[in-house]
Amino acid sequence: MAQRVLMLAWEYPPRVIGGLSRVVWALSRELAEADCDVHVVTADHPGTAEHELDGKVHVHRVKTQTDSTPDFLTWINRLNVGMLQYAIQLHMEKPFDVVHAHDWMVTDAAWVLKSGLGIPVVSTIHATEQGRMGGLHTDLQRYVNQMEWRLTFESWRIIVNSRHMREELKGLFNVPEDKIDIIPNGTDPEHFDFPFDPRPLRNSFAYEHQKIVLYVGRLVNEKGVQVLLDSVPMVLQHFPGTQFLIVGTGYFMDDLKQKAAALNIHHN
C-alpha cells in the first residue's frame, strides 16, 4: 500500500526564498514517482491555486491565514494555524502515515499533528540559527533556537545533508547520532544538458591560460564565501592569475567586498 506523506514547508515553488523550496520540490516529486501519495502544505503565494497537482504531488497553499501581521514571527504563528487547518482536514479524509517537517518554521504544526493525532514526524534540518548567525545575539534568535531544539526532540528521525550538520545538531541540541540520517543534496544533470559554448562568456572574464573559480549562491554568512576569500592569496601563490567570480545577492555583499579589498584581491 502506498505511503501517504504530508510535507510541511514554508516555501514551495514558485515561492522560493532559499534552497529549502527546491529540496522540498525535488524530494516530493521523487517520492511521488516512487508511488507515495504526497501532499505538500505550504504558505500562500500570489497567483497560485489553493490546491493544485504538480506532477503527481498535491500542493495545498494556506489561504485562510493571509491577513497582514506586525512581524515575521507572528506571520509564522499564523501560518502554522493555517497549516493545521489544512492538514487535519486532509488527515480526516485519509490518514497520513508520516509528517515530514522542514525547519523550525513548521515546528508547531508538526508537534500538534504528532501529539494530537499520533502521526510520526520526520524532520529535515536545513540549517540552524546559531550556524546562520554565528551565535545567538537576540531574543528572536534564542526563540528560533528553542524551536529548532523542539523539532529535533519531537522528530522520530532527522535528516541533514552533511556530516558537518550532523555534528552541529549533536553539539547544539544533544541529538543522538543514531537518530540522524545524512542525505546529501544533489542536482539533476539533465537540467544542464543543453548545447552551450562557454568560450565567449569565459573570455569576458579571463584569458585562456587563466583558471576561474566560480561561486553562485546567496551572499550570506552561512554559505562561507568569506572562507573562499581567505583562501585566495594561497591559491594565487600556486596558480597566479586565477580569477574568482562571486555571483549572488545578500546582506553579506558589502562585508565581502570590504574583505576582498583588505586582502588586496579585489582585482582578481
Domain harbouring 220, CATH code? 3.40.50.2000
Q: How confident is the model at residue 164 (pLDDT cuts 50, 70, 90)?
A: very high
Residue 111 lies in a domain: yes
Condensed to tens digits (0 to 9), the pLDDT of residues 222-261 reads 889 999 999 999 999 999 999 999 999 999 999 999 999 9
The partner residues of 182 in beta bridges, in order of sequence, read 160
Residue 187 lies in a domain: no
Same domain as 212, residue 168: no
- Tell me which of 158, 182, 206 is where a domain ends: 182
Residue 268 lies in a domain: no
All three cell numbers of 52, joined, read 493544485
Residue 188 lies in a domain: no
Calculate mean pLDDT across residues 131-149. Answer: 93
Residue 89 lies in a domain: yes
Question: Which residues form the domain of 121?
Answer: 4-182
Same domain as 205, residue 166: no
Residue 29 lies in a domain: yes
Distance, in Å, from the CA atom of 251 to the CA atom of 257, rounded to the nearest integer, reads 11
Same domain as 108, residue 214: no
Same domain as 135, residue 99: yes
- Tell me which of 130, 157, 182 is where a domain ends: 182
Of the CA atoms within 13 Å of residue 124, those in its CB half-sphere come to: 19
The partner residues of 100 in beta bridges, in order of sequence, read 7, 122
Condensed to tens digits (0 to 9), the pLDDT of residues 119-130 reads 999 999 999 999
Radius of gyration of the chain (CA): 21
Same domain as 113, residue 17: yes
- Tell me which of 129, 161, 182 is where a domain ends: 182
Calculate mean pLDDT across residues 128-157. Answer: 95
Same domain as 212, residue 90: no
Distance, in Å, from the CA atom of 56 to the CA atom of 196, rounded to the nearest integer, reads 32
Name the least confident of 22-36, 61-75, 82-96, 204-218. 61-75
Same domain as 137, residue 30: yes
Same domain as 201, residue 249: yes
Residue 267 lies in a domain: no
pTM of the model: 0.86
Residue 9 lies in a domain: yes
Same domain as 37, residue 163: yes
Contacts of 57 (CB under 8 A, 6+ apart): 28, 29, 32, 38, 39, 40
β-pairing verdict for 212-216 and 180-182: unpaired
State how many domains the chain has. Answer: 2
pLDDT at 1 over 80: no
Distance, in Å, from the CA atom of 200 to the CA atom of 202, rounded to the nearest integer, reads 6
Residue with cell 525547519: 103
Same domain as 149, residue 103: yes
Same domain as 141, residue 70: yes
Condensed to tens digits (0 to 9), the pLDDT of residues 3-57 reads 999 999 999 999 998 889 999 999 999 999 999 999 999 999 999 999 999 999 9
Tell me how crowded residue 226 is: count the other CB atoms within 10 A of its CB: 14
Same domain as 100, residue 55: yes
Residue 221 is predicted with a pLDDT of 85
Contacts of 226 (CB under 8 A, 6+ apart): 252, 255, 256, 259
